[in-house]
Structure 1
Amino acid sequence: MADSENSRTLPAITRREENFENGATEKLPQVIDRRNLLPVAARWLSGRFDATRDQQRPSGPTPVREMWPRWYACHLQHVRATRLRQKLETKLLEVTGGAPIVELRIGTEQIVPVHSFADINRLSSELNAEQLSQARVELRRRRKRWREADQRLECAAAITREQELAHQAGIAGRVMRITAPSSLTEVTAKLHCLIAMQDPGLKLDVAPWPELRRLLRDLIRMEERVAETWDSNSSREAC
């Protein structure tokens, strides 16, 4: 599907984080496509749920309108953590010259990459003692350089943080998706969560993903028209 597809315990998210200064009054863009579908949906949902934040609700299970902002805050943290981890991994490879791997020549043509001392031991029948010793020394040296660079850049910590946030966002998203919605806006929020977690790049072209993206867009458009009609009628009644 082309880009012209137009048929298409955590803190609650704050407007500052996603630049939601206009809240619910922000107008939808004329075109909603792959490039802006998820951020547009997030801004729109944030505005709608902000408008109902202070409303009292009966006792019972937490509604989707309260779950979505918390899930989305965690989701954004996970996205940022992923970008940081990718940046640090790239830097780590630049600093060390590559992953801690040693390439061994077997015979005249075969090059075998080894990642561990166990790999070297498995090649003992095809290498002489000097080659084995040099391979172990080189692997040890590269591992030491990798560990030292990793400690400086804190790449391992970034990986751990990314995994923790992915776990938290996954649990929050699954709980929200099995929670019964009480409005079309909550249905829209559940669909946004599903697409953001399963197709974040909006690249899946096998059914039902193109149809689900169009459905998310249609729900937003439909609810926006309903809200505009309601506001228009309320204004006339006030006059």
Structure 2
Amino acid sequence: MPSATETGNGSPEIRRRFSSPKAGDTGRSQTRCHPHLPGNRQLVTGAAMAEARKTAKAELAARIRKWNAADEQFGYSRTRSGETQIAGIQEASANSLWEAPALTTSDIIAKLHAIIETEDPGSQLMERPWPQLQIILADLVRIDHPA
């Protein structure tokens, strides 16, 4: 007779630890160790699992209520929504600017300034091409508006 390993069913120990509950078993106090869980924690089954799920859902609901209260108090979601709307308006305005033909040097300056500020707000980026674009912008302003 072939061994458990040869039949592909694993060792008798593995079959014992991970076999399904027997028919008619309520599983009320049944727990099984799982080798892949941190600390080799026990898996809870049956009524204990239902109770653990109920407790977890209640804890989650309590945390959601706390989050919603804090959100209402501090206005995070309202602020985030406003930022999203403003970003959409900014993008639409920038697209209108890019599509409009430049008729003067001032128009070109406005477009260049807008792309620099849109892509590098506050001129924080120091790698190419941002410093060079800022120099070109300054040159155009100097040419268009001599001192």
TM-score (norm 1): 0.39
> Aligned in 2, Cα 1:209/1:127: closer, same or farther, shift over 3 Å?
farther
Pairing 1:108–2:43 present: no
1:222 equivalent in structure 2: 143
1:232 equivalent in structure 2: none
Q: 2:132 aligns with which of 211, 216, 219?
A: 211
How many pairs align? 106
Q: 2:60 aligns with which of 139, 144, 158?
A: 139
Pairing 1:198–2:119 present: yes
Q: How far 1:171 moved relative to its partner?
A: 0.6
- Equivalent positions of 1:52-91 (< 5 A) are none
Q: How far 1:157 moved relative to its partner?
A: 1.6
User: Structure 2 counterpart of 1:107, which letter?
Assistant: P
Q: How far 1:193 moved relative to its partner?
A: 0.7
Across the aligned residues of Structure 1 and Structure 2, the Cα RMSD in angstroms comes to 2.4
2:86 equivalent in structure 1: 165
Task: Specify which structure has the bigger relative contact order, considering alpha-carbon pairs within 8 angstroms and separated by 6 or more residues.
Answer: 1
Query: Structure 1 vs Structure 2: percent identity of aligned residues?
Result: 26
Q: How far 1:138 moved relative to its partner?
A: 1.9
Q: How far 1:209 moved relative to its partner?
A: 2.1
TM-score (norm 2): 0.61
Residues 36-55 of structure 1: per-residue CA shift (max 9 Å, x gap): xxxxxxxxxxxxxxxxxxxx
SS of equivalent residue, structure 1 residue 108: helix
> Aligned in 2, Cα 1:139/1:109: closer, same or farther, shift over 3 Å?
farther
Flag the structure with larger Rg.
Answer: 2
Q: How far 1:182 moved relative to its partner?
A: 1.4
1:152 equivalent in structure 2: 73
Question: Following superposition, which runs of at least 4 residues in structure 1 exceed 4 angstroms of deviation?
Answer: none
CA distance in 2, matches of 1:154, 1:160: 10
User: Structure 2 counterpart of 1:153, which letter?
Assistant: F
Q: Please list every run of 5 or more consecutive structure 2 residues that lacks an aligned counterpart in the other structure.
A: 1-36
Q: How far 1:131 moved relative to its partner?
A: 4.4
> Aligned in 2, Cα 1:137/1:212: closer, same or farther, shift over 3 Å?
same
User: Structure 2 counterpart of 1:108, which letter?
Assistant: G
- Equivalent positions of 1:19-98 (< 5 A) are none
